[in-house]
Amino acid sequence: MDIAAALVPILAAHPARPDALLPILHDVQDACGHIPDAAVPVIAKALNLSRAEVHGVVSYYAHFREEPPGFHVVRVCRGEACQAVGGAALAAHAAERLHDGDLTLEPVYCLGLCALGPAVQIDETTLHAHVTPEKFDALIDDLDAAS
């Protein structure tokens, strides 16, 4: 993917002000799946920021990825409500289960299902509640079968 070409419409859609950085980074990640290293100096120049400032924002927020994700992104809620009902054990199980590059495991600190935890999100759209290690395995098996 030509990063410079991908950035042209994204940068054109946002004003050249420092407060446009987060929306631009979201758009870049939506377009590329991550924030490529090559995008950082282009974004910095467009917003009159240093590369360190842009990289600092990318590396600070857990949402932004610096490497391409796997074919599916699996998020396990690490918020307090989910932790109180087995979220830590589920996260450990998920880390053990998802060790290849086809699936990316990411922690998230609230999926909005606090009364239904532990919660898992697969890709950007599918939420699952009351996830046990067994239910998690079944969800991953379904992903594997669909691929």
Model confidence pLDDT, tens digit, residues 6-58: 899 999 999 888 899 999 999 999 999 999 999 999 999 999 999 999 999 99
| Beta carbons within 10 angstroms of residue 78's beta carbon | 19
Q: Within this chain, do residues 136 and 116 fall inside the same structural domain, yes or no? A: yes
Rounded mean pLDDT, 128-138: 96
Which of 65, 116, 62, 126 is closest to 87 using CA atoms? 116
Instruction: Say yes or no to pLDDT of 100 above 70.
Output: no
Does residue 28 sit in the same domain as residue 79? no
The arithmetic mean of pLDDT across residues 129-134, rounded, is 96
Nearest to 74 by CA among 34, 54, 101, 36: 101
CB contact set of 40 (below 8 Å; sequence gap of 6+): 51, 54, 55, 58
The rounded mean pLDDT for the chain is: 91
* Same domain for 83 and 21: no
Beta bridge pairs of residue 106: 75
| Domain region containing 110 | 72-146
Nearest alpha-carbon partner for 130 in 143, 144, 114, 106: 114
The confidence score (pLDDT) of residue 1 equals 64
Q: Which 3 state secondary structure label does DSSP give 127?
A: strand
The residue type of 110 is C
Return d(Cα 48, Cα 18) in angstroms, integer: 7
* Domain CATH for 136: 3.40.30.10
**Co-location of 128 and 91 in the same domain:** yes
At 62 the pLDDT is 83
Last residue of a domain, one of 60, 87, 105: 60
Same domain, yes or no: 142 and 77: yes
The arithmetic mean of pLDDT across residues 119-144, rounded, is 92
The residues, ordered by sequence, that sit 6+ positions from 109 with a Cβ below 8 Å of its Cβ are 62, 77, 78, 79
Do 88 and 140 reside in the same domain of the chain? Answer: yes
Is 65 a member of any domain?
no
For 53-87, write each residue's pLDDT tens digit: 999 999 999 889 999 888 888 999 999 999 999 99
Residue 105 has pLDDT above 70, yes or no: yes
Are residue 133 and residue 86 in the same domain, yes or no? Answer: yes
Looking at the 3D structure of the chain, how many domains does it have?
2
> Does one domain contain both 77 and 113?
yes
